[in-house]
Structure 1
Amino acid sequence: MEHKADKPNLPIIVAMNGAWPNAQTKLWKEALVTYLGQPLVDLTDPQSEFFLAEDDFRGMASSAELIEKWQQTLASTINLPALLILPPAMVELKNSQELLADCTRPIFLLSVPARTAWQYLGLGIAGQPVGLGAIRAQWMNMWSQRVSAWENVGAKVIDCSQTEPSSLPPKLFP
């Protein structure tokens, strides 16, 4: 049963960490929009006027222009009256961390365990060559640091590996 009174008065901020299949990502976003009844501002959608291509992002090794664009985009969208979907790498920028930590909106990191994400990428499956030990270790370390950074700005981390999209919203606001 849906309890509308339990929903937040403020729109929420969500980041989706992991190698999610595109069709699944769409289902998660639709479930949230339907449940919350709020418009969507998705910074990860190439069709959005606020689109930020995470493939271009290289952490603090990114160009100054790219970092500035990401920070300006967050500053201009963080208070919009909409469900805000952020690239998970957003939390790696110091100014973004400060904006997110000071934000009064509920923040969630929808995540899957690193092992599950690795399997989404087709790696770590029986019969597949492992051969990527150093790369995998670096990726797992980055993954762990990113999850910790989201927790540090007050995000509630939700493990979505065993959750159907339609059953997610009630998990956010039990």
Structure 2
Amino acid sequence: MRDPEALALEENLSPKGLSSGRQMLIFSGKQESTDLALMVEAFGQEDRSAWDAARIRDALVVEAGVDPSVAGEIAFEVESDIMRHGRERVTTAIIREMVNVKLFFRGLDAKLADHSRLGLPVYDLESMMLNPNRENSNTSHNPESINLSVAEMILKEYA
């Protein structure tokens, strides 16, 4: 018999629902854009919570507009995959990627685009931090220019 408390997931996403493709929903609330830019809740905490496949279902419905019954099926499949491999802990980033694979295999490309995460591989970020940007000779290599380069890459990915 499966114990729902057996798995814990490390909470890396904001409960405010930060997601790609839905920025208008974020800014339509009462939140401050400064708070969103800081992402303190999203990455500043290492909370753990008990496993709950309903959170996957709910995230798919809210973030990507997936039909609740399909979202429930995907949540069940992801939960089954994790249980089958005997993992006791799993990060939300891994869960998101597993869900994205399910969306991909179901041909739900528009939903996949809305549910996908934007970001950079660690290697690319380290390269930006260690090597000056040669595209613009007017910029010095400092934290501000690195921040600008990261922002440019992420916004290009979003576009």
TM-score (normalised: structure 2): 0.30
> Which structure's residues are more often helix, by fraction?
2
> Which structure's residues are more often strand, by fraction?
1
Q: Which has the higher contact order (CA 8 A, sep 6+)?
A: 1
- Flag the structure with larger Rg: 2
